[in-house]
Amino acid sequence: MLKIENLHVEIDGREVLKGIDLEINEGETFILFGPNGSGKTSLLMTLMGFSGYEVTKGSIFFNGKDITHAPTYERARLGIGMSFQRPPTIHGLRTRHLVQMCAREREVDVDEMARKVNFDHFLERDINAGFSGGEIKRSELLQLMAQNPRLVLFDEPESGVDLENMQLVGKVARSILDGDVQPRADLSMKEQKAQKRRTSGLIITHTGYILDYVNADRGQVLYNGHLCCEARPRDILEHIQEYGYQECVKCLN
Partner 1 sequence: MHDVDLKQFKFQGQEHEAIPGLTALEKADQEQLLMAGVVSDETNRSASYLQMDHSAVHCRSHNEDVEIMDIKDALKKYDGLKDYFWTLVDKDKDDYTRSAAENLHGGYFIRVKAGAKVEQPIQSCLMLKAEQVGQNVHNIVIIEEGAEAHVITGCSVAHGTNAGAHLGISEFFVEKNASLTFTMVHNWGDHVAVRPRSAGIVKEGGKFLSNYVLLKPVQDLQMYPSIRMVGEDSVARFNSVIVAPEGSYLDMGNRVTMEAPNTRCEIIARTISTGGTIINRGHIGGHAMPAKGHLECQGLILGNGRIHAIPELDGSLEGVELSHEASVGKIAQEEIEYLMARGLDEDEATSTIVRGFLNTDIMGLPEVLTRAIDKQIEELQASGAM
Note the residues at the interface with partner 1 (CB under 8 A).
Answer: 48, 50-51, 71-73, 76-77, 81-82, 84, 87-88, 90-93, 98, 101-102, 104, 126, 143, 147
CB of 43 to partner 1, least distance (A): 15
Whole-number Å distance between alpha carbons of 42 and 28: 21
Between 16 and 76, whose beta carbon lies closer to partner 1? 76
Q: Are 128 and 87 in contact (CB under 8 A)?
A: yes
Q: Are 54 and 10 in contact (CB under 8 A)?
A: yes
CB of 188 to partner 1, least distance (A): 34
CB of 143 to partner 1, least distance (A): 6
Q: Are 141 and 173 in contact (CB under 8 A)?
A: yes
Between 82 and 214, whose beta carbon lies closer to partner 1? 82
Between 19 and 160, whose beta carbon lies closer to partner 1? 160
Between 74 and 164, whose beta carbon lies closer to partner 1? 74
DSSP 14: E
CB of 180 to partner 1, least distance (A): 21
CB of 92 to partner 1, least distance (A): 3
In what order do the strands lie in the sheet containing 226-231? 80-83, 151-155, 200-204, 29-33, 218-223, 226-231
Between 33 and 75, whose beta carbon lies closer to partner 1? 75
- Region class of 187: left (phi > 0), else alpha (psi between -120 and 50), else beta: beta
CB of 223 to partner 1, least distance (A): 26
Q: What is the amino acid identity at position 81?
A: G
Between 89 and 195, whose beta carbon lies closer to partner 1? 89
Between 102 and 203, whose beta carbon lies closer to partner 1? 102
CB of 78 to partner 1, least distance (A): 9
DSSP one-letter string for 180-196:
-----SSS-HHHHHHHS
Whole-number Å distance between alpha carbons of 239 and 245: 9
Whole-number Å distance between alpha carbons of 245 and 32: 13
CA dist 203 to 32, 82, 91, Å?
Answer: 6, 10, 29
> Which candidate, 177, 220, 253, 211, places its Cα nearest to that of 22?
220
